[in-house]
Amino acid sequence: MCVGLSAKVISVKDGVAMIDASGAKREISAELLDDLEPGDFVMVHAGCAIAKITDTDSSESEKLSKEHLS
């Protein structure tokens, strides 16, 4: 129940953010996250930004591997 897509925030106004996912733009709710700013990357699900994204999957995998799998 979790199809999500990462997208870049273009603008935020009155709890609504315009996001850009590889060129696909849409308005979504920004209410679930505090201090969302243009340039932030967010995870989008069902019309809401549900989380800020703080890293790429590859770089995160690398760090996790070092910590848990070496």
Partner 1 sequence: MSSSELRDYLQNYDGPEIRIMEVCGTHTHEIFRQGIRNFLSPKINLISGPGCPVCVTPASYIDEAIYLALEKNVTITSFGDLIRVPGTSSSLQKARAEGAKVKVVYSPIDGEKYAKEHPDEQVVFLSVGFETTTPSDVIAVRNAIRDGIGNFSILTANKTMPGAYEAMADSTDCYLYPGHVHAIIGTGICKDLQKRGVSGVIAGFTGEELLTALAIAVRKHSEGGPFYVNAYPRVVTDEGSPAAVKLVDEFTRPCDAMWRGIGMIPGSGVELKEEYSSYDARKKFDIPVLEKEYKTACRCGDVLQGKIRPTGCPLFGKACNPDHPVGACMVSDEGACSAFYTYGGSL
Partner 2 sequence: MSDCITLAHGSGGRKTNELIAGLFKKHLGNSYFTADDAAVLPRPEGKIAMSTDGFIVSPWKYPGGNIGRLSVCGTVNDLACMGAKPLYLTCSYVIEEGLPISDLEEIAKAMGETAREAGVHIVAGDTKVAGKGQVDKIFITTAGVGVIEDGIETSGRLARPGDSIIVTGDVGRHGTAILLSRDEYGIEADVTSDCAPLWHPVSKALEVCPGMHVIRDATRGGVGTVLYEIAAEADVGIKVRRQDIPVADEVRGVTGLLGLEPLYLACEGRMVMMCPSDKAQAVVDVLSGCKYTEGAKIIGEVTEDNKGKVVMVTEVGGMTFLPQPGNELLPRIC
Q: What does the block give as tokens for 16?
A: 């609504």
> Which of the listed partners (partner 1, partner 2, none) does 56 bind, with a CB threshold of 5 to 8 Å by partner kind?
partner 1
CB of 44 to partner 2, least distance (A): 7
Q: What share of the chain is helix, strand, coil (3-state, %, to 5)?
A: 15, 45, 40
> Which of the listed partners (partner 1, partner 2, none) does 36 bind, with a CB threshold of 5 to 8 Å by partner kind?
none
d(CA 65, CA 70): 6
d(CA 5, CA 8): 10
Nearer to partner 1, 38 or 65 (CB): 65
> Which of the listed partners (partner 1, partner 2, none) does 24 bind, with a CB threshold of 5 to 8 Å by partner kind?
partner 2
Stretch of 9-17, 31-39, 42-50, 62-70 contacting partner 2, by CB under 8 A = 42-50
Segment (H or E) for 19? strand 16-21
